Homo-oligomer: A and B are copies of this chain.
């Protein structure tokens, strides 16, 4: 009973995601979200509680899709850490959206504006990825794919650096190719480092 919604909930979140992605949480206003989604603030508040609720849905979806992407790579024959990273990098670079960097990293840079649960979500996301990288490094080192004398801690430092550096490169550089070049260089450096 009653009037029907004139918008699709998921599609609205998807459109909002791209605004948050481009401008960040704080810099995105309700006006921006109304314009991008075509939904009046009332509808946004009705469906997502408040601005942070909408952002939470966008961010969790984003993190989940990135995770799914990585798992997709590992389960379709791209064995080896470098293989996964390489394919991930290729996927990244082809996606126009990623010219705005990584939503998770961007959000961590404005964590003071976010509620506690969102900060924990971001922390968990990062820890999850870093933990997966570390586990892969250790198992591949044990299996002899990587150098026997590889210092895992040291290597993780570079992995972490690259992980946060590449999105930052894409956001700070006017040149859209800066991230692609950085990624290529990083892969080269890792190859000489790891093997």
Contacts and interface: CB of A to CB of B under 8 A. Distances in A.
A161 B188 CA distance: 13
A154 interface: yes
Total copies of the chain: 2
B123 A168 contact: no
A181 B157 contact: yes
Q: How large is the interface on A (under 10, 10 to 19, 20 to 34, 35 or more residues)?
A: 35 or more
Interface stretch (A44-52, A77-85, A131-139, A170-178): A170-178
Contacts of A114: none
Interface string A131-166: 000000000000000000000011111101110111
A193 interface: yes
A154 B185 contact: yes
Interface of A: 23, 26-27, 105-106, 108-110, 112-113, 123, 126, 153-158, 160-162, 164-166, 168-169, 171-174, 178, 181-186, 188-190, 192-193
Given A105-B168, A106-B109, 18 more contacts: A27-B110, A27-B112, A27-B113, A109-B168, A154-B188, A157-B181, A157-B186, A158-B185, A158-B186, A158-B189, A160-B178, A160-B182, A161-B186, A164-B165, A164-B168, A165-B165, A165-B168, A189-B190
